[in-house]
Structure 1
Amino acid sequence: MKNLRMIFPMWQGGNLTAYKQGAELLAMLAPEAGKETTTVTVPVHIPRTDSSVESGITGRNNLKAELEAADSLIRENTPDSICVLGGDCLVDLAPFAWLSEQYQDGFGILWLDTHPDVMTPSQYPNAHAHVLGALMGNGDEMLTRHVNKPVPSSKIMIAGIHSPNAYEHEFLEKNKINQVSPEEMMKGTDQLKEWIEKEKITHLAIHFDLDILDPNKFTSLNFNNPYAKPSDFEGIAQGKLELEDVINWILEASSLTKTVGLGITEYLPWDAIRLKDALSKIPILTE
């Protein structure tokens, strides 16, 4: 079984350059790949301090090039499974779209995230909040063109979600997407097992957005950005789970069906990022 380990330091989907450094550090922390694994790094535009909104999407042209590069690397390697080390949440678009195309009606997505990521440019310009909607075939053509086999709503479970905004709530209800609250996740995995069995999911991709975690107990999150103002996060749902809760769900899912995709996203180790930036200014280290 061919596995592709994809390091994808995309940052403009979330319009935060620190996502790039977070992905690079995550790649160092993740276990070394096995013999059947090929490792690739998706080229990402050199960060700027700002990104303009282009036809409704922040950094559209750069994101378009990066998604096309990811798609090309996947099709060159024709993997059976893909592990993605990101980067903002948009990194999972091309890999999960490929897996949906390969495994067809047996494919499902477990979206471990405080947010559903089903918005479009009409609601929000940062494309990391569009990715799951695009995998369903909804949203901007720049994203949906990568999805040859849209994932039916019944084959999606969003776990860890709470307090969606009005648009998200309407979209989730209209499409009857399976939802599990953080409190329900803490009680056990019965809903996960029932969903996998009911939908006959033989191959699963798991999206793990670290912002599902409680920012008071796991600090490497955007909500602990030392440069942010308190008002920056007003009205935005924050995670409630502990790391062990989420890992238990991933392990249980992997025991119930074949996990062929895993995306880990939005890792922001602020102290390490700040230290790296500071060290880069010391002449003797850079000569």
Structure 2
Amino acid sequence: MESLGDLLKRTPIGGEAIRRSAQLMDELLADPLIQRFRAKHPELDEGTIRINLNRFYQFVKEYRNCEQCPGLDRCPNDFEGHYTLLQCETNGGGVQMYDRKVSCKKFIARQNEEQIRSRIRSFYIDEKALNNGGYSADEILTNDLNRIEAVGQLMEYIDRTKEHGLQTTGLYLAGRFGTGKTFLMCYLLHELAKIGHSGVIVYMPDFVEDLKAMMHEPGKLKETVDMMKETDLLIFDDIGAENLSPWVRDHVMGGILNYRMERKPTFYTSNYELDALEQHFSFTSKDGDERHKGERIMERIRSYVDVIHVTGANKRRR
């Protein structure tokens, strides 16, 4: 943004420069913004304004830019997302002017959003679904009236957590393909991250394949598992769609869920009801039917979730 100094440099020296300076002074004194500022500070005289002409020019120019804000990415002010604020103080009979840069509302909103996102880790989840968590509650409620009961239950859980703190039980969202289960969980993560909770969401089919590679990187495996144990909110997305192995089921998932029981909530989305998921966990391609092991891990899931059935149209076919 052009400063007053730059503006005056383009003005020929001599009498013309004096005339131009006087014109700028008259324009500033007539500006409603300066008039309001002077009404608030009657001790401010024209001599002080003349001495601080650059400050007042910057103040007015940036205020006008903010009135017609083109967005943060195209902010014309000297310091993106900030504007100049003037302060006037009386010291020993004289008037002293100060200016400082203040963050605008859009800059603060962006900072808050970045802080919220920094609390959320995702593995193999479409970033679009995660970032759309900023949708309003009204939009989520009216997006598909067929799932309004499920959305209401989700909202109740969010409100309960905001009011009473982290719960020990999570949610199990069951429903057909494309009904928005992942999106609803991303919304939950986003809303609870606003009040300081950390979260991890994992797309199970890809995650399980990655875990097999991590067997040869024990340090990375431990770091990943520890993060899932300790995060406030853990979401296993599309559970039941993974190609399960006994090691993943018993040692990785079993260890994570065993640690989180009675401590922190775990959430799930699935195309399976709980009984069908138990059958999935009871059979592996390596060891075949292991019903008791399926029952054991399901005890760590079934006992610590409230089931929500998500109905509605398949959004992916739109």
Which structure's residues are more often helix, by fraction?
A: 2
Name which one, 1 or 2, has greater alpha-carbon Rg: 2
- TM-score of the pair, normalised by structure 2: 0.28
TM-score (norm: length of structure 1): 0.30
